[in-house]
Amino acid sequence: MATVTHLSSINPATLENVGEVPIHTPADVLAAVQRARLAQPAWAALSVQRRLHTMRRYQTVIVENIDRIVETVWKETSKPRTEVLVEIFAVLEMIRHYRNVAAKALAPRKVSSGIVLHKRAYKRYEPMGVIGVISPWNYPFLLPHTPVLTALIAGNAVVLKPSELTSLTGQLIGQLLKQVLPDPEVFQIVTGTGETGAALVTAGTDKICFTGSVATGKKIMAAAADSLTPVVMELGGKDPMIVCADADLERASAGAVWAAFSNSGQTCMAVERVYVVDSVAEAFTAKVVAKTNALRQGVDSGDIEIGAMISERQRKIVESHVASAIQQGAQVLTGGREGTNGFAYEPTVLSDVTSEMPVMQEETFGPVLPIMRVPDVQTAVRLANETPFGLTASVWTRDTGRGEIIAAQLNAGVVCVNDHLVNYGIPALPFGGIKESGFGRLHGEEGLMEMVRVKSVVVDRLGLSREPYWFPYTRQMTGLLEQAIKFLYR
């Protein structure tokens, strides 16, 4: 039996083969990590300002290649042109943000030396070395850039393994980045199946950043544990939306439809559960159904809101959740069928759902919006928190102060009031989840700190011949120490 050496990339809307990439072996992956490690010291030796200047040039390269990026991402995902442009916009805004703040964030910081007054103390932020990034298919231009850019700015080399479903986009990122890097070897791309990703985890990187499913995340953690390789995990979500009785229903319904169905619902932060207070549930649901029915689904990348799902496997998960819900008494208010092109599935709104249904408990990752009536906000908060996930959530109310109080009660890494998903477009905000949604943070200063080692430095100021706390110990020293404790901390 012949060994398969290449992967085909398929347009999920047309089912056409749009290109091939090599399947890199474990030996190939190890060699890529070694090349990155050899190139990293010279990159790290550059000042942060020099590295940020490289990022400024990369901004220009991205802008000059917008059409090429849009075409490549569309071919691999079938998402509308507008949504690809949003990915590009978010990457450019991320670069702009870090160009403004990274130099200060990564500069050495003095700290108090406390009672040891004759010492000078500070923290240094040093690159870790080589960062391995395993990225998903749902936002194939944006999501790899989030850890890649912070790792590079912090002085690391990077080895990126894009999803096997969107490897052409990953290769394009490599081609664009290598145009501006002083040494192209600082950034490596490896393509292939899950076995290629598994090889990267054990190839001796200094950290692994993974975005994907909980199941795969657990496997990566287990493999990384053998070498004590630290990991950042951005995993799944079952993100709730709470609609209060005083919500602006026109805005809330529009927000729900967009946040549930953009990218065909294939977003870890998508609204996957709606809890609406009973007194406004009927009006809210009617508006959601009307707005959903107005969505256009098809192949044209420039004149639709909804494309196809990424694969038949992903669509079958959606079909299973919808069928199970119907069997247990849920009503399909619109949608609930396969689309007419490729792996498409119609945007679907469900009512009469219960908390026990898989569509309310498990990550659907597709264009399905289940709406559940609740008697009050307290019930909504309780149900929203009864999940193994904790990525994002949203609260919708005209009283934003009350919305912030409710937000504080929700077990999630991110909460928006009167919006959803928008947090990822604010690069100053750290992004990440709790519970089975993962740990570690991307974006913000916290995202930079994930890519460095903190070194503590203490410098003696006085140059005494000996310190009073060195050997030999004396009764006088012991007595003075006891008196100092009582004086300072009683």
Q: Are strands 119-127 and 130-134 parallel, antiparallel or unpaired?
A: unpaired
In what helix (H) or strand (E) does residue 352 lie, and over which residues does it extend? none
Residue 184 tokens, joined: 């192209």
Least Cα distance to 410 among 210, 218, 211, 238 occurs for 238
Q: What is the 3-state secondary structure (H, E, C) of the chain?
A: CCCCCEEEEECCCCCCEEEEEECCCHHHHHHHHHHHHHHHHHHHHCCHHHHHHHHHHHHHHHHHCHHHHHHHHHHHHCCCHHHHHHHHHHHHHHHHHHHHHHHHHHCCEEECCCCCCCEEEEEEEEECCEEEEECCCCCCCHHHHHHHHHHHHCCCEEEEECCCCCHHHHHHHHHHHHCCCCCHHHEEECCCCHHHHHHHHCCCCCEEEEECCHHHHHHHHHHHHCCCCCEEEECCCCEEEEECCCCCHHHHHHHHHHHHHHHHHCCCCCEEEEEEEHHHHHHHHHHHHHHHHCCCECCCCCCCCECCCCCHHHHHHHHHHHHHHHHCCCEEEECCCECCCCCCECCEEEECCCCCCHHHHCCCCCCEEEEEEECCHHHHHHHHHCCCCCCEEEEECCCHHHHHHHHHHCCCCEEEECCCCHHHHCCCCCECCCHHHEECCECHHHHHHCCEEEEEEEEECCCCCCCCCCCCCCHHHHHHHHHHHHHHHC
Q: Is 126 among the catalytic positions?
A: no
CA–chain centroid gap for 204, Å, is 23
Catalytic residue among 87, 164, 234, 363: 234
Residue 6 tokens, joined: 């290449």
Q: Is 64 among the catalytic positions?
A: no
Residue 22 tokens, joined: 């090599």
Conformation bin of residue 47: beta by default, left when phi > 0, alpha when psi is -120 to 50: beta
Q: Which residues contact 282 (CB under 8 A, 6 or more apart)?
A: none
Q: Which residues of 259-292 are buried (b: 16+ CB within 10 A; e: fewer)?
A: bbbbbbbbbbbbbbbbbbbeebbeebbebbbebb
Catalytic residue among 268, 305, 346, 436: 268
Residues forming the active site: 234, 268
